[in-house]
A = this chain, B = another copy of it.
């Protein structure tokens, strides 16, 4: 299972066999979560970190008025609470959107790694920087794009990220278990509008939704519609310059 994390870390830097072993052994146990469960809440001071082994989680913040903003989706291979280790406190919550399995890594193990394995440390740091890069792209997406562009962009991002962790079933389909209300909270839109815009994307024949799967029918037009460039995901090393 922790291979997913290794694959992730190797996106940005090669690891030695010894380092890989350290990563694998870092996960002391796994934990199964049901849908709509919080893994960590804003303000908490956790004693362990989590790697997602399966499922979809999200980072989110709640506003006083009861609104919610999802600030990022997390999928297989993602580390979801390194900031709990480094900063000692979470600035946001992390919760599941589907049932999920996470690997547990004690903080002490990570502290040891930071002490003894500079290359691993660097790889972990890079993961957090990619996270930051995605957050900046989301600011741009929400701040300056229309709802139609935003959703196209989100679908591109998720499609590329899911591909990078082997979650694209056939050429262009991936599992999609998010509700429209969750997508709305992520994109700064209302549920109703997400519904209408998804219909547009379908009627434009950019995607089809069949059951809990989305299939991209026309990657180029979807990318164009969202103004999507995958550079900010820093995945090129593994994927190569294939079709983007």
Contact = CB atoms under 8 A, between A and B. Distances in A.
Interface of A: 12, 42-43, 59, 61, 63-65, 67-69, 71-72, 82-83, 86-87, 89, 91-92, 114-115, 118, 121-122, 125-126, 128-133, 135-140, 142-145, 187-188, 227, 231-232, 234
B129 A87 contact: yes
Contacts of A133: 83, 87, 91-92
Contacts of A145: 63
> A121, A135, A188: which has the most chain B beta carbons within 10 Å?
A135
Given A87-B126, A128-B129, A136 B188 contact: no
A144 B143 CA distance: 11
B122 A232 contact: no
A196 B140 CA distance: 23
Contacts of A82: 129
A122 B232 CA distance: 24
Given A59-B136, A118-B121, 20 more contacts: A61-B136, A61-B140, A63-B140, A63-B145, A63-B227, A67-B144, A69-B143, A71-B136, A71-B139, A83-B129, A86-B122, A86-B129, A87-B130, A89-B231, A91-B136, A91-B232, A92-B136, A128-B128, A132-B132, A142-B143
Contacts of A61: 136-137, 140
A244 to B, nearest CB: 15
Contact of A142 (B63, B137, B188): B188
Q: Taking the full assembly, how many copies of this chain does it contain?
A: 2
A68 B144 CA distance: 7
Nearest to A140: B69
Contact of A86 (B92, B125, B140): B125
A192 to B, nearest CB: 16
A126 B71 CA distance: 19
Contact of A83 (B42, B132, B231): B132
Contacts of A227: 63-65
Nearest to A138: B139
A138 to B, nearest CB: 5
> A12, A65, A137, A143: which has the most chain B beta carbons within 10 Å?
A143
Contacts of A64: 227
